[in-house]
Amino acid sequence: MKTIDSLGDLRGKRVLVRSDFNVPLDGTTITDDGRIRAALPTLRRLADAGARVVVTAHLGRPKGAPDPQYSLAPVAARLGELLGQDVALAEDLVGPSARATVDALADGQVALLENVRFDARETSKVDAEREELAGELAALADAFVSDGFGVVHRKQASVYDVAKVLPAAAGDLVLAEVNALSRATQDPERPYAVVLGGSKVSDKLGVIENLLTKADRLLVGGGMVFTFLAAQGHQVGSSLLEADQIDTVKGYLGTAEANGVEIVLPVDVVAADAFAADAPHRTVPADAIPEGTMGLDIGPESGELFASKLADARTIAWNGPMGVFEFDAFAAGTRAVAQGIVDATAAGAFSIVGGGDSAAAVRQLGFDEAGFSHISTGGGASLELLEGKELPGLTVLADENA
């Protein structure tokens, strides 16, 4: 992929940067600014080079029209604090305010355009509509830097189409993400252990199929584990279950055995009477979950088991929490896995934490991010790379296309 260096002298040039600022909000308060902080190295590099930096990003899922609850105003304020300069927020994306905001930039200054998903053309399935918006974005800039790793698996106007119009390069964050994930997908150092959690098996079908040809161990937790337990013939009470995926999972178990891949499932779970932070709960064997109760975390023995399976690993990829970590009563399993990965990393393993909930759990549970080799900013994008897919936002940056 083309790098920022390929864009030449950027002093005085307008550089459009696609960042991923899809941060969690409580009202107008950002509760986790990890994605904003991850964008800083590229933005500082461009500003220090004298570029006039124009950032575009999305927040939430507005329905293709302006929606005040998804305004990037809180992001602009926080970005300004972190950069140590005022970051102007245009009131629109490609309209009069955007043009005036960009025209007012001096060398080394950064401005933010309003939420790109306020324009329905951003996510349109019609090529011509996306290309029209890409052209309007391109009119605001002289070059494009793709640095929103969390969206590079999307064929969207500000990710894919604009890179075909302007001189384009990958930002430092995207390069770091791709390099890190490549270590887990291309000849990983072994043993290679993968921890998968989250709610649904169906969200990770392609990833599991690919890993059954590459990983040495697959540790399964979270809500998806109950479909695995059901596939083994166990009752799972009222736990989350995708009954239509049981046969698929049976196939995975057979493939794993044939390929010599060890699948590690919990031996105990924390079962609750209801999905609530204060629900009565108890630890039960994984193969004996009582009727009327739901598993909301792996149990303490399982936490120790998973940690032991990570201890000698040389490459570790983790995507998805082990339980409902947002509730203190059901966070111990995720904490045990995170600690196991930290310990293995300290012993020399290369570890990747997939974005989304896993990255949020690391921060919420108080772990030092330096204890992991790489914390990804993109859940879906990192999953698709682990699945072996080509990502449109990356392929468009290939040397022959740039």
Report, as residue numbers or ranges, the catalytic residues. 35, 200, 356, 380
| Other beta carbons within 10 Å of 328 | 11
CB 74 within 8 A of CB 38: no
3-class SS string, 318-332: EECCCCCCCCHHHCH
Residue 355 annotated as binding? yes
Residue 21 annotated as binding? yes
Place of tokens 């899809």: 22
Residue 387 annotated as binding? no
CB 239 within 8 A of CB 288: no
Residue 20 annotated as binding? yes
Residue 46 annotated as binding? no
Residue 11 annotated as binding? no
Those residues whose C-beta lies under 8 Å from the C-beta of residue 394, and which sit 6 or more positions away, are 1, 152, 170, 174, 178
Those residues whose C-beta lies under 8 Å from the C-beta of residue 319, and which sit 6 or more positions away, are 194, 195, 196, 197, 198, 204, 207, 353, 354, 356, 358, 379, 382, 383, 386
Residue 378 annotated as binding? no
| Other beta carbons within 10 Å of 169 | 23
**Exposed / middle / buried, residue 258 (Cβ in 10 Å: 0-12, 13-18, 19+):** exposed
Residue 48 annotated as binding? no
Residue 155 annotated as binding? no
Those residues whose C-beta lies under 8 Å from the C-beta of residue 109, and which sit 6 or more positions away, are 47, 52, 53, 85
Going by C-alpha positions, the residue among 84, 62, 57 that lies closest to residue 377 is: 57
Residue 340 annotated as binding? no
Place of tokens 């025209």: 103
Going by C-alpha positions, the residue among 274, 272, 256, 273 that lies closest to residue 264 is: 256
Residue 117 annotated as binding? yes
Q: How far is CA 306 from CA 211, 249, 341, 371, in A?
A: 18, 20, 10, 18
The binding site consists of 20-22, 35, 58-61, 117, 154, 204, 295, 326, 355-358
- Residue positions in the annotated binding site for ATP? 204, 295, 326, 355-358
